């Protein structure tokens, strides 16, 4: 009961994280069903309508119900602790944003029971396909309702984080001393505030087209189907960075701690986060290169998309430089962080092909894009999430996770991930479009698809190992001390788990690594 | 600590992956490591751009992954205590400037090459020697392609074109978004209702090239395939003469049979082979022009001749008479 009425940022953070993980399992099961259907040519495991529901709800789940909210969970739990605050700025609004998220998710999953089933027009729901005439039943309307609820929750949460970061930092914690994860949440929140309203407008107009007889996107009534794509991607592309920046923030916390070095180029990483956030608002039409935009727009969006590679590259080089001459400790959190660098690089590089619009004309809407976005959103975001979970688990729950199971989890997922998604690049180049429920080609098509499906099974086993790890250590795991990793940031100053009021007292902050400063001062007084 | 064994495993996996990749290339042309062998100048130039980008991204890939693996190996813990710190280096401005500037230069090189190739990819050649390009209109429908030739002939799902002739394709849709895509003849261009997009090809070899709908368009998206049949000029001219008589069959196969089965026996859609509506011109015309519930308006935008061709074909070849169960 106290969990339902709670306004404690830590408890809300835990609610967010746990709920997101449940949806992660649900979305993952949808993906496994799709991979089972595609394992062989001309398979009849799943019907075409169900398949279309699966990929629509899978995409919507992973984006709106897993990655975005789990970062809200991390941010809820960590931001006040990292900046030395007692709670977020608006604790009750914070609770509201969580409950909106939960109900939005429930609406999405209950839409499977609507007549004609859940939405089946893909996660970006282009009209006219998502219009009344081509998407019968209320699945599409419930999808819109769900996204409205989720957007509202995210928006409230984002405003809350901004207010917290701007106003509640500990004495001495200037902008150049806040942890890099807090920088990433600052930009995550700013982007959400800027672009979520645009999504809400697009969805509202779509709903009006469906239910009130308007023709905003309906060509036969004088509307414009491409307008929706602009609305959607003006939101949709910054959303990608909403999902990757906090993961990069986590990596920027984990790598220095497990390299026993300071982050290489704090300012460069902080400013590259800001730069990525800024440019992410200028690239949306690279999702629309094939709609026949005027040439100057294609050129503009190609160049702006390529520019993003520069600050992203800066981050990767700075992380590598952080490990240079370090004392690398391969605890599970570090494995995920290094794995992130390894696979995210591939996702970033394949993005350059997609930014060059003539090449995009060949590979867009094929499995190449599916591979690219999973290298970015699974290899990037989800690897980052697991790095964060293994790193902060002791702080959040007060128990250490098992390192052996953790490593098994990492290696199984790392292997399974690459098996699943690398061959999808090749499938796309061979000519397999995304979102087809079956294919009749044999030979390499079938080989690569089979490898991909086997990989998804390996990943699933890896994720089960994580579940086993959590269940086993929740009772028998060793208790966590305040600072098991000898970390740098303020959340490790308090107990694990922290008391409701977070800190009894705070040191004056003189650098970006207050905990290391404390350790050194202690050593000096003892010495 | 664990690294040595796992590192070997990692190297093994990478080596295996590389070996697999190389075998795949050796046995299957490019094996999916580049777009399919192009058969049109625009597709060729896209492939050139692809290869050009691959050179740089390949080098960056080797650099990043190589230093990652090297650092992991070189700076591993080796039994040092957790409290043993590495040198406290906070950054190096010159180094950071270098790895900001060099990527900018690389991207400029990539963009420069793509812009150099761009006119040859997107501009339809004027083809003066051939008397201008041959213009074919592509009308996308759920779930078939309709091609209209300069003299008004129509074909469904099979685009006929003469070899070594510039063909301009004007693409639009009659219902939802689709995307015209024949990989060997160039990239994707969306078919969007209310909009017209253009692309072109000039096939260098007689043969058939497979195309697919590239934008998710509904329940039969996977079945929305096209074939480009590139013929000698003589064969093409001969085919144009016969196109009219084959229209009814093409319409049946492209717009009806994907859901109702080749004999009308039913599949995703109901069995229609015994449905008397097949013989009732006016009622059937209204149904196929406007659609009903899950049935899309397959004949939206059709001319009267097109409707009549289908009706005649249905009566002659599909309708089996009403049975008692009818």
pLDDT in tens, B212-265: 999 999 999 999 999 999 999 999 999 999 999 999 999 999 999 999 999 999
Report the b/e string of A36-64 with b at 16+ CB within 10 A: ebbbbeeeeebebbbbbbbbbbbbbbbbb
How close, in Å, is residue A319 to chain B by CA atoms? Answer: 10
Query: Which pLDDT belongs to residue B325?
Result: 42
* C-alpha separations of A20 from A1, A13, A338, B120 in Å: 20, 11, 24, 48
What distance in Å separates the CA atoms of residue A111 and residue A82, rounded to the nearest whole number? 39
Q: Residue B296: CB partners within 8 Å, gap ≥ 6?
A: A134, B141, B142, B143, B175, B218
Query: Which pLDDT belongs to residue B326?
Result: 38
How close, in Å, is residue B322 to chain A by CA atoms? Answer: 30
What distance in Å separates the CA atoms of residue B157 and residue A110, rounded to the nearest whole number? 39
Compute how many other C-beta atoms are within 10 angstroms of the C-beta atom of residue A171. Answer: 9
Compute how many other C-beta atoms are within 10 angstroms of the C-beta atom of residue B19. Answer: 10
How close, in Å, is residue B252 to chain A by CA atoms? Answer: 21
**Count of CA atoms in the C-beta half-sphere (13 A) of A487:** 24
Is the dihedral angle over the CA atoms A463, A468, A471, A475 positive or is it negative?
A: negative
B189 phi/psi in degrees, rounded to 5: -135, 130
DSSP character at residue A470: H
DSSP character at residue B76: B
| Closest in B3, B71, B77 to A324, CB measured | B71
What distance in Å separates the CA atoms of residue A179 and residue A185, rounded to the nearest whole number? 10
B222 and A439 within 8 Å at the Cβ level: the answer is: yes
The pLDDT-based confidence of B91 (bands split at 50, 70, 90) is very high
How close, in Å, is residue B275 to chain A by CA atoms? Answer: 24
At A262-288, the pLDDT tens digits run: 999 999 999 999 999 999 999 999 999
- Check if the beta carbon of residue A262 is closer than 8 Å to that of residue B88: yes
Q: Is B105 on the interface with A (CB under 8 A)?
A: no
A–B interface: beta-carbon pairs under 8 A: 273
pLDDT > 90? residue B320: no
**Residue that has been written with the tokens 């007084």 in this structure:** A525
| Closest in B13, B103, B111 to A302, CB measured | B111
Helix, strand or coil, per DSSP, at residue B127? coil
Q: Residue A523: CB partners within 8 Å, gap ≥ 6?
A: none
**Count of CA atoms in the C-beta half-sphere (13 A) of B105:** 6
- Check if the beta carbon of residue A354 is closer than 8 Å to that of residue A361: no
B36 and A429 within 8 Å at the Cβ level: the answer is: yes
| Closest in A318, A365, A485 to B188, CB measured | A365
**Residue that has been written with the tokens 């982050």 in this structure:** A263
Tokens of A203: 């969805």
How close, in Å, is residue A486 to chain B by CA atoms? Answer: 7
For residue B76, the chain A residue with the least C-alpha distance is: A328
B193 and A128 within 8 Å at the Cβ level: the answer is: yes
Report the b/e string of A495-517 with b at 16+ CB within 10 A: ebbbeeebbeebbebeebbbbbb
- Residues in chain B with CB shorter than 8 Å from the CB of A361 are 46, 186-189
A306 and B110 within 8 Å at the Cβ level: the answer is: yes
- Check if the beta carbon of residue B12 is closer than 8 Å to that of residue B20: no
Query: Which pLDDT belongs to residue B279?
Result: 85
Per-residue pLDDT of chain A (527 residues; tens, 9 = 90+): 789 999 999 999 999 999 999 999 999 999 999 999 999 999 999 999 999 999 999 999 999 999 999 999 999 999 999 999 999 999 999 999 999 999 999 999 999 999 999 999 999 999 999 999 999 999 999 999 999 999 999 999 999 999 999 999 999 999 999 999 999 999 999 999 999 999 999 999 999 999 999 999 999 889 999 999 999 999 999 999 999 999 999 999 999 999 999 999 999 999 999 999 999 999 999 999 999 999 999 999 999 999 999 999 999 999 999 999 999 999 999 999 999 999 999 999 999 999 999 999 999 999 999 999 999 999 999 999 999 999 999 999 999 999 999 999 999 999 999 999 999 999 999 999 999 999 999 999 999 999 999 999 999 999 999 999 999 999 899 999 999 999 999 999 999 999 999 999 999 999 999 999 999 999 999 87
pLDDT > 50? residue B324: no
Interface of B with A in 235-274 (CB under 8 A): 268
How close, in Å, is residue A363 to chain B by CA atoms? Answer: 8
What distance in Å separates the CA atoms of residue A77 and residue A92, rounded to the nearest whole number? 15
What distance in Å separates the CA atoms of residue A416 and residue A95, rounded to the nearest whole number? 37
For residue A345, the chain B residue with the least C-alpha distance is: B61
B222 and A436 within 8 Å at the Cβ level: the answer is: yes
pLDDT > 70? residue B20: no
A48 and B268 within 8 Å at the Cβ level: the answer is: yes
Bridge partner residues of B228 (DSSP) = B159, B209
Query: Which pLDDT belongs to residue B277?
Result: 87
- Residues in chain A with CB shorter than 8 Å from the CB of B197 are 291-292
**What is the average pLDDT score of chain B?**
90
What distance in Å separates the CA atoms of residue B180 and residue B147, rounded to the nearest whole number? 12
Percentage of chain B surpassing pLDDT 90?
78
Query: Which pLDDT belongs to residue B194?
Result: 94
Query: Which pLDDT belongs to residue B321?
Result: 76
Compute how many other C-beta atoms are within 10 angstroms of the C-beta atom of residue A404. Answer: 11
Of A290, A229, A288, nearest in space to B122 by CA: A290
Query: Which pLDDT belongs to residue B22?
Result: 59
H helix or E strand, kind and range, residue A333: helix A332-355
In order, the DSSP letters of B265-294 are --SSSPP-TT-GGGG-HHHHHHHHHH-BTT
- Check if the beta carbon of residue A479 is closer than 8 Å to that of residue A443: no
- Residues in chain B with CB shorter than 8 Å from the CB of A425 are 32
Q: Residue A437: CB partners within 8 Å, gap ≥ 6?
A: A37, A46, A47, A48, A51, A52, B221, B222
How close, in Å, is residue A141 to chain B by CA atoms? Answer: 17
- Residues in chain A with CB shorter than 8 Å from the CB of B30 are 429
What distance in Å separates the CA atoms of residue A472 and residue A514, rounded to the nearest whole number? 33
| Closest in B35, B86, B218 to A260, CB measured | B86
- A415: exposed, middle or buried (C-beta count within 10 Å: 0-12, 13-18, 19+)? middle
In order, the DSSP letters of A198-266 are HHHHHHHHHHHHHHT---SS-GGGT--HHHHHHHHHHHHHHHHHHHHHHHHHHHHHHHHHHHTS--TTH
Count, residues in chain B: 326
What distance in Å separates the CA atoms of residue B35 and residue B184, rounded to the nearest whole number? 8
What distance in Å separates the CA atoms of residue B81 and residue A333, rounded to the nearest whole number? 18
What distance in Å separates the CA atoms of residue A231 and residue A204, rounded to the nearest whole number? 11
How close, in Å, is residue B115 to chain A by CA atoms? Answer: 9
To test the contact with chain A by mutation, choose from B81, B89, B119, B173 the residue with the greatest count of A C-beta atoms within 10 A, namely: B89
- ipTM of the predicted structure? 0.94
Helix, strand or coil, per DSSP, at residue B158? strand
Q: Pairing relation of β-strands B197-201 and B167-173?
A: antiparallel
A328 and B71 within 8 Å at the Cβ level: the answer is: yes
pLDDT > 80? residue B70: yes
**Separation of first and last alpha carbons in chain B:** 76
What distance in Å separates the CA atoms of residue A393 and residue A73, rounded to the nearest whole number? 13
Q: Residue A345: CB partners within 8 Å, gap ≥ 6?
A: A316, B60, B61, B64, B65
Query: Which pLDDT belongs to residue B8?
Result: 62
pLDDT > 50? residue B67: yes
In order, the DSSP letters of B223-269 are G-EEEEEEE-HHHHHHHHHHHHHHHHHHHIIIIIHHHH-TTS--SSS
Q: What is the pTM for the complete model shown?
A: 0.94
How close, in Å, is residue B311 to chain A by CA atoms? Answer: 25
B183 and A362 within 8 Å at the Cβ level: the answer is: yes
- Residues in chain B with CB shorter than 8 Å from the CB of A129 are 176-177, 216-218
To test the contact with chain B by mutation, choose from A55, A177, A206, A290 the residue with the greatest count of B C-beta atoms within 10 A, namely: A290
Percentage of chain B surpassing pLDDT 70?
89
DSSP character at residue A18: H
Q: Is B307 on the interface with A (CB under 8 A)?
A: no
The pLDDT-based confidence of B322 (bands split at 50, 70, 90) is low
In order, the DSSP letters of B172-232 are EESSS-EEE--GGG---EEE-TT--EEEEE--SSSEEEEEE--S--STTGGG-EEEEEEE-
To test the contact with chain B by mutation, choose from A56, A59, A260, A338 the residue with the greatest count of B C-beta atoms within 10 A, namely: A260
- Residues in chain B with CB shorter than 8 Å from the CB of A437 are 221-222
């Amino acid at each position: 009961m106290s969990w339902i009425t709670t306004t404690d940022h830590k408890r809300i953070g835990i609610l967010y994280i746990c709920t997101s993980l449940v949806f992660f399992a649900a979305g993952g099961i949808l993906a496994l069903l799709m991979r089972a259907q595609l394992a062989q040519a001309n398979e009849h495991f799943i019907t075409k309508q169900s398949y279309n529901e699966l990929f629509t709800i899978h995409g919507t789940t992973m984006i709106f119900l897993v990655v975005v909210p789990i970062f809200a969970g991390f941010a809820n739990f960590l931001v006040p602790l990292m900046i030395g605050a007692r709670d977020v700025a608006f604790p009750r609004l914070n609770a509201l944003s969580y409950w909106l998220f939960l109900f939005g998710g429930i609406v999405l999953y209950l839409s499977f029971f609507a007549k004609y089933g859940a939405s089946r027009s893909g996660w970006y729901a282009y009209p006219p396909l998502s219009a009344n005439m081509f998407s019968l039943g209320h699945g599409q309307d419930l999808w819109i309702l769900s996204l409205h609820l989720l957007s509202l929750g995210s928006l409230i949460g984002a405003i809350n984080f901004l207010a917290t970061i701007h106003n509640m930092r500990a004495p001495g914690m200037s902008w150049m001393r806040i942890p890099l994860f807090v920088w990433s949440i600052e930009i995550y929140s700013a982007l959400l505030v800027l672009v979520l309203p645009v999504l809400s407008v697009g969805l509202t107009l779509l709903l009006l087209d469906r239910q009130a007889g308007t023709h905003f996107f309906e060509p036969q009534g004088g509307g414009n189907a491409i307008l929706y794509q602009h609305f959607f991607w003006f939101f949709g592309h910054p959303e990608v960075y909403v999902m990757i920046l906090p993961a990069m923030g986590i990596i920027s916390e984990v790598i220095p701690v497990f390299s026993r070095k300071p982050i290489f180029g704090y300012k460069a990483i902080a400013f590259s986060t800001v730069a990525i956030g800024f440019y992410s608002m200028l690239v949306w039409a690279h999702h629309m290169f094939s709609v026949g935009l005027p040439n100057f727009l294609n050129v503009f969006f190609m160049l702006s998309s390529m520019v993003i590679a520069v600050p992203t590259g800066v981050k990767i080089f700075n992380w590598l430089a952080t490990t240079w001459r370090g004392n690398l400790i391969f605890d599970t959190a570090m494995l995920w962080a290094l794995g992130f660098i390894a696979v995210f690089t591939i996702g970033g590089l394949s993005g350059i092909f997609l930014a060059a619009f003539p090449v995009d004309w060949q590979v867009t809407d094929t499995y190449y894009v599916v591979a690219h976005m999973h290298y970015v959103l699974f290899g990037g975001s989800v690897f980052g999430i697991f790095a964060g979970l293994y790193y902060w688990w002791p702080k959040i729950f007060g128990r250490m996770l098992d390192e052996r199971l953790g490593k098994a989890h990492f290696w199984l997922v790392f292997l399974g991930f690459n098996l699943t998604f690398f061959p999808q690049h090749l499938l796309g180049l061979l000519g397999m479009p995304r979102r087809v429920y079956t294919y009749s080609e044999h030979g390499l098509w079938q080989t690569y698809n089979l490898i991909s499906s086997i990989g998804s099974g390996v990943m699933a086993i890896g994720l089960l190992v994580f579940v086993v790890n959590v269940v086993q250590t929740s009772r028998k795991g060793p208790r966590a001390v305040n600072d098991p990793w000898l970390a740098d940031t303020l959340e490790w100053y308090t107990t694990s788990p922290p008391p409701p009021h977070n800190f009894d007292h705070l040191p004056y902050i003189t650098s970006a690594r207050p905990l290391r400063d404390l350790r050194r001062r202690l050593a000096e007084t003892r010495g | 600590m664990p690294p040595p064994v796992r590192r070997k495993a990692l190297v093994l996996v990478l080596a295996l992956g590389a070996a697999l990749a190389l075998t795949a290339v050796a046995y299957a042309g490019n094996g999916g490591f580049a777009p399919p062998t192009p058969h049109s100048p625009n597709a060729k130039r896209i492939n050139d751009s692809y290869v050009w980008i691959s050179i740089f991204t390949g080098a960056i890939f080797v650099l990043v992954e190589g230093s990652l693996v090297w650092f992991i190996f070189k700076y591993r813990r080796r039994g040092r205590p957790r409290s043993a710190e590495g040198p406290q280096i906070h950054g190096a401005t010159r180094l950071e400037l270098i790895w900001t500037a060099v990527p900018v230069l690389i991207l400029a090189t990539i963009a420069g090459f793509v812009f150099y190739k761009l006119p040859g990819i997107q501009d339809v050649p004027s083809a003066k020697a051939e008397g201008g390009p041959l213009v074919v209109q592509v009308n996308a429908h759920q779930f078939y392609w309709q091609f209209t030739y300069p003299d008004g002939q129509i074909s469904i799902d099979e685009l006929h074109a003469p070899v070594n002739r510039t063909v301009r394709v004007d693409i639009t849709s009659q219902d939802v978004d689709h995307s015209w895509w024949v990989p060997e003849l160039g990239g994707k261009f969306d078919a969007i209702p209310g909009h017209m997009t253009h692309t072109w090809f000039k096939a260098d070899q007689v043969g058939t090239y497979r195309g697919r709908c590239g934008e998710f368009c509904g329940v039969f998206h996977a079945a929305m395939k096209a074939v480009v049949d590139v013929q000698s000029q003589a064969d093409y001219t001969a085919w144009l003469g016969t196109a009219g008589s084959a229209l009814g069959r093409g319409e049946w196969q492209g717009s009806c049979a994907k859901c109702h089965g080749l004999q009308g026996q039913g599949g995703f859609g109901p069995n229609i082979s015994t449905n008397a509506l097949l013989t009732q011109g006016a009622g059937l015309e209204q149904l196929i022009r406007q659609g009903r519930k899950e049935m899309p308006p397959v004949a939206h935008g059709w001319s009267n001749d097109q409707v009549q061709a289908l009706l005649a074909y249905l009566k002659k070849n599909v309708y089996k008479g009403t049975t008692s169960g009818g």
